[in-house]
Structure 1
């Protein structure tokens, strides 16, 4: 993309576009947009250095975060896209880059915090990548990480459940370890408009169905349906509807009534 076009772009707007592409799971678009964000920030950074070297005042280009944040975020989203496309080595390479962000010789306090934040994200995302790739030997280590960092629990358990069904792992002991936290997820999902909660309940339903706890699976898919509706994501709702149909015969009368009530709200 030409330099004059990059200079006219706003990093925060590109981040919004990137988040939309992630939400729609359009991974090729995520790769494309992440590259644009990276190039845009690089262009802004180079312009600032040039103006500084010439003793000129800095050009005005307001951003909500330090430029280093956008550099790291572009790499994180690119790594996620590679992960979802099954391009594991390329995902690992991206994680390695934002685990040790390099920008300039000296960093201010805000930039130092960005470096530490991405170091933490890289550790969490590296575990998720390896678990998705079938590295069962890392499960205990990952569980220990999640226990120490409860803010990662929803995403982490979702990753583990998805891998469990894919590779045939029984993870009941792990779910029991986080039973108290999981009990709060349903309550939290009523106050948090977060699609991480949707993915947790959707994959929990699939896991519970896989191990044969069908009534529990129905309960989870009902939570996922409600969240899909609240998020306004038709694609999520369609997935849930397919899952519900596979579980309909196992649903209790009370669960069926709740499902019908949800449908009325959606209509």
Structure 2
């Protein structure tokens, strides 16, 4: 990308674009935007290093976070996109890139804290990629890691459920282990956790369907639909609708009523927006 174009870009706006692309699971867009963010901050960093070497004043760029954050975030998002597309080796390569960001010069205390945060994210995401790619012997170790890092339980259980579905594992005991924390998922309000909670409900519904807990699967599917609607994600909503229809014969009258009510609510919202 041309330097003139890169200079006109604002890293924090690119971060917002990336977050939106992740919410809508547009993984191609995530990778493209992550690459633009990387090029943008690489230009800023190189310009700073040039001015420092030439003993010139460092050009000011208005950033909401330390520069090292944007390097880490670009690799993190690219790795997430690869992981969600099943490209685990490519995801692992991205993880290695943000696992060690200490190569940057002139890191201050705030920068070093960011480096440590990305190092931690690399550790937990490497667990996820290794397990999803078939190293299921790490599941027990991963559970112990989650018990020591409670903030990672929601995305961690989502990873475990996906692994269970892929490799035919019984993870009922693991779900019981985290029952207290699972009860708290409903209280999450930020977009990232709502997205994780949707995925958790959807994959747990698939898991319960596999083990013939069909009414439980129906209830979780409806909850996932509510979360998809809350996030404005039509793709997720359609996926849940298809799952519900596959389970309709096992649904109670109350569950079917709740499902229809949700559909009518969505229709009313659509008609309101058109007026």
Question: CA separation in 2, counterparts of 1:260 and 1:33?
Answer: 38
Q: Which residue of 1 aligns with 2:234?
A: 234
* Residue 242 of structure 1, CA deviation: 0.4
Query: Retained in 2: the 8 A contact 1:68–1:103?
Result: no
Query: Retained in 1: the 8 A contact 2:128–2:156?
Result: yes
Question: CA separation in 2, counterparts of 1:88 and 1:262?
Answer: 36
SS at match of 1:86: coil
Q: Which residue of 1 aligns with 2:74?
A: 74
Q: Which residue of 1 aligns with 2:128?
A: 128
Q: Which residue of 2 aligns with 1:176?
A: 176
CA displacement 1:99-118 (0-9 Å, x = unmatched): 11133344211101101100
Comparing 78-87 and 141-150, the one that deviates more: 78-87
* Residue 192 of structure 1, CA deviation: 4.4
* Residue 39 of structure 1, CA deviation: 1.1
* Residue 37 of structure 1, CA deviation: 0.9
Query: Retained in 2: the 8 A contact 1:75–1:94?
Result: yes
Question: CA separation in 2, counterparts of 1:133 and 1:103?
Answer: 29
* Residue 13 of structure 1, CA deviation: 1.3
CA displacement 1:121-174 (0-9 Å, x = unmatched): 001100111111121100001111111111111111111111111111111111
When the two structures are superposed, what TM-score results if normalisation uses the length of structure 2?
0.91
Give unpaired runs (5+ residues) of structure 1: none
Question: CA separation in 2, counterparts of 1:258 and 1:152?
Answer: 31
Matches within 5 A, 1:75-90: 75-90=75-90
SS at match of 1:128: helix
Deviating beyond 4 angstroms after TM superposition, the runs of 4 or more aligned structure 1 residues are none
Query: Retained in 1: the 8 A contact 2:83–2:91?
Result: yes
When the two structures are superposed, what TM-score results if normalisation uses the length of structure 1?
0.93
Q: Which residue of 2 aligns with 1:24?
A: 24
Change (3 A) 1:231 1:85: closer
Q: Which residue of 2 aligns with 1:65?
A: 65
Query: Retained in 2: the 8 A contact 1:38–1:74?
Result: yes
Query: Retained in 2: the 8 A contact 1:214–1:250?
Result: yes
* Residue 261 of structure 1, CA deviation: 2.0
Q: Which residue of 2 aligns with 1:12?
A: 12
SS at match of 1:103: coil
SS at match of 2:184: helix
